[in-house]
């Protein structure tokens, strides 16, 4: 085994107009048409140098976040080959810096065939990071249930984006812990076929629907993992005391929920605490930290999977495509734990969830449930 420090790269991109300024401060204040046009011709570049990632046993890795400057809508609208070319150039930059494995962030892991073609054309192995994202999402969902006093064994869970690579795996892993699971996706034919394929394997009641609002109205637990660029969960659809875990960027849950539903716990599911003393330094301004929009030492689970593979010297395409091997999810969970990665603190709408906030949410939920029981019908907050 080589003594050289294992290295990784991870492809990032802005997920909203506001997000662009984190990548390029000079874009602040410019109008949307100008920003979109700039992003279309702006080439990929090494944006962040990551150092200080250190496992409990002393193993270390370093890497780079490479910007592929397109927003989600552009990745869906532009010709696929053009988007592939942009992503591949980003990976090539990482490989030129010494990276031995690459991770695909946000929509770069969604576009096309979820990384399969990118991996075939890439100079180094590629992962979407979805295995560790699933691990973090499930841990977050059931942590939220515990905080809100929801017993999963008697609960109805809804998985939105159930036919996607993350959602389909989550369905199988949630089912053994709940009373009922409802699968939600946009494509009815694909959804029906997926449900027919797995229904007999699921150890709980199951059903499917394309009517997202109707499903959410029945849910005690909601996990959302879509590739939508719009909000899909709104305050009027949620039950009192519901727990929502979202794994999507951009967010699937409307910010109106934070204002109008004090009884609902929404938690971001894909955040991990990185071991060691990680530093995310801007390459162009090395004395400045890159703002990930997360607390110190925290990274997205998909980023963390790429770091884990580097620490473990597993330079391979670990997670690719629409169908995820559940054994791989378990293996990644074990590797991440061995490397010292743990679930990040609870966050909602880009802010920390305090113990006081959780207590207030539980109290509001109990009050609404009591009112609903007394009145025999659903009560609005």
pLDDT, tens digit, for every residue of 185-205? Answer: 999 999 999 999 999 999 999
At 49, give phi and psi (nearest 5°). Answer: -105, 120
Q: Which pLDDT belongs to residue 35? A: 80
Total structural domains within the chain: 2
pLDDT at residue 2 greater than cutoff 60: no
- Averaged pLDDT of the chain: 91
pLDDT at residue 381 greater than cutoff 60: no
Gap between the Cα atoms of 125 and 337, Å rounded: 22
Gap between the Cα atoms of 83 and 70, Å rounded: 9
Does residue 38 sit within a domain? yes
285 shares its domain with 223: no
pLDDT at residue 249 greater than cutoff 60: yes
50 shares its domain with 197: no
Residue 16: both structure tokens together: 């909203």
Q: Which strands make up the sheet holding 101-104, listed edge to edge?
A: 126-127, 101-104, 7-12, 60-67, 45-54, 276-282
pLDDT at residue 373 greater than cutoff 90: no
Give the pLDDT confidence of 204-232 residue by residue, as tens digits: 999 999 999 999 999 999 999 887 767 78
For 30-46, what is the mean pLDDT?
A: 83
For 78-93, what is the mean pLDDT?
A: 95
91 shares its domain with 142: no
Residue closest to 40 by CA, chosen among 77, 94, 95, 93: 77
- Tell me whether the omega of the peptide bond preceding residue 250 falls within 30 degrees of 0, making it cis: yes
| 3-state SS record for the chain | CCCCCCEEEEEECCCCHHHHHHHCHHHCCCCHHHHHHHHHHCCCEEEEEEEEEECCCCCEEEEEEEECCCCHHHHHHCCHHHHHHHHHHHHHHHHHCCCCEEEECHHHHCHHHHCHHHHHHCCCCEECCHHHHHHHHHHHHHHHHHHHCCCHHHCEEEEECCCCHHHHHHHHHHHHHCCEEEEECCCHHHHHHHHHHHHHHCCCEEEEECCHHHHHCCCCEEEECCCCCCCCECHHHCCCCCEEEECCCCCCECCHHHHHCCCCEEEECCEEECCEEEEEEECCCCCCECCCCCCCCEEEHHHHHHHHHHHCCCCCCCCCCCCCCHHHHHHHHHHHHHHCCEECCCEECCEECCHHHHHHHHHHHHHHHHHHHHHCCCCCC
247 shares its domain with 361: yes
63 shares its domain with 90: yes
pLDDT at residue 305 greater than cutoff 50: yes
pLDDT at residue 171 greater than cutoff 80: yes
217 shares its domain with 328: no
91-105, 137-151, 335-349, 362-376: which range is least confident on average? 362-376
Does residue 2 sit within a domain? no
Does residue 1 sit within a domain? no
Instruction: Express as a percent the part of the chain with pLDDT over 70.
Output: 95
Q: Which pLDDT belongs to residue 1? A: 43
Does residue 325 sit within a domain? yes
Does residue 310 sit within a domain? yes
For 337-344, what is the mean pLDDT?
A: 97
Q: Which pLDDT belongs to residue 10? A: 98
350 shares its domain with 209: yes
179 shares its domain with 327: no
Q: Helices 130-148 and 326-339 sit at what angle, rounded to 10 degrees?
A: 80
Does residue 381 sit within a domain? no
For 81-85, what is the mean pLDDT?
A: 94
For the beta carbon of residue 279, count every other beta carbon within 10 angstroms.
Answer: 17
Q: Which pLDDT belongs to residue 113? A: 87
Q: Which pLDDT belongs to residue 17? A: 75
Range of the domain at 185: 134-270+346-375
Residue 89: both structure tokens together: 């150039």
For 308-329, what is the mean pLDDT?
A: 94
Does residue 367 sit within a domain? yes
Gap between the Cα atoms of 14 and 177, Å rounded: 35
Residue closest to 276 by CA, chosen among 12, 14, 9, 58: 58
pLDDT at residue 81 greater than cutoff 70: yes
CATH at residue 187: 3.40.50.720
Q: Which pLDDT belongs to residue 293? A: 84
At 184, give phi and psi (nearest 5°). Answer: -130, 135
251 shares its domain with 326: no
Does residue 162 sit within a domain? yes
32 shares its domain with 18: yes
149 shares its domain with 115: no
79-83, 101-105, 333-337, 368-372: which range is least confident on average? 368-372
Q: Is 359 exposed, middle or buried (0-12, 13-18, 19+ CB in 10 A)?
A: exposed
25-34, 115-124, 244-253, 293-302: which range is least confident on average? 25-34
101 shares its domain with 33: yes
Q: How confident is the model at residue 84 (pLDDT cuts 50, 70, 90)?
A: very high
């Amino acid at each position: 085994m080589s003594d050289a420090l294992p290295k990784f790269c991870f492809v990032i991109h802005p997920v909203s107009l506001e997000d662009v300024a984190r990548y390029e401060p000079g874009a602040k204040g410019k109008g949307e048409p100008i920003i979109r046009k700039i992003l279309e011709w702006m080439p990929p570049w090494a944006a962040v140098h990551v150092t200080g990632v250190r496992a409990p046993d002393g193993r270390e890795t370093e890497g780079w976040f490479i910007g592929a400057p397109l927003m989600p809508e552009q990745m869906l609208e532009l010709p696929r080959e053009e988007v592939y070319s942009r992503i591949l150039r980003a990976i090539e930059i990482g490989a030129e810096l010494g990276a031995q494995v690459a991770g695909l962030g946000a929509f770069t892991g969604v576009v096309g065939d979820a990384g399969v073609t990118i991996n075939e054309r890439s100079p180094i192995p590629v992962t979407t990071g979805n295995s560790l994202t699933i691990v973090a999402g499930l841990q977050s969902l059931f942590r939220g249930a515990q905080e809100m006093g929801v017993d999963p064994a008697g609960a109805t869970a809804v998985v939105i984006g159930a036919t996607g690579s993350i959602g389909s795996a989550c369905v199988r892993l949630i089912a053994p812990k709940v009373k009922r699971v409802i699968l939600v996706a946009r494509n009815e034919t694909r959804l029906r076929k997926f449900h027919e394929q797995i229904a007999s394997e699921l150890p709980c009641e199951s059903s499917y629907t394309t009517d997202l609002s109707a499903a959410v109205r029945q849910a005690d637990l909601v996990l959302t993992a879509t590739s939508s660029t719009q909000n899909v969960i709104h305050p009027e659809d949620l039950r009192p005391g519901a727990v929502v875990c979202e794994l999507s960027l951009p967010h699937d849950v409307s910010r109106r929920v934070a204002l109008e539903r004090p009884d609902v716990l929404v938690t971001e599911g894909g955040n991990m605490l990185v071991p060691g003393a990680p530093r995310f330094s801007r390459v162009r301004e090395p004395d400045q930290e890159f703002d990930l929009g997360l607390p110190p030492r925290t990274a997205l689970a998909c980023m963390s999977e790429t770091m884990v593979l580097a620490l473990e010297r597993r330079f391979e395409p670990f997670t690719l495509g629409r169908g995820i091997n559940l054994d791989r999810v378990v293996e990644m969970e074990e590797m991440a734990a061995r490397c010292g990665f743990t679930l990040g603190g609870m966050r909602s709408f880009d802010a920390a969830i305090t113990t006081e906030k959780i207590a207030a949410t539980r109290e509001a939920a109990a009050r609404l449930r009591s009112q609903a029981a007394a009145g025999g019908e659903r009560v609005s907050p």
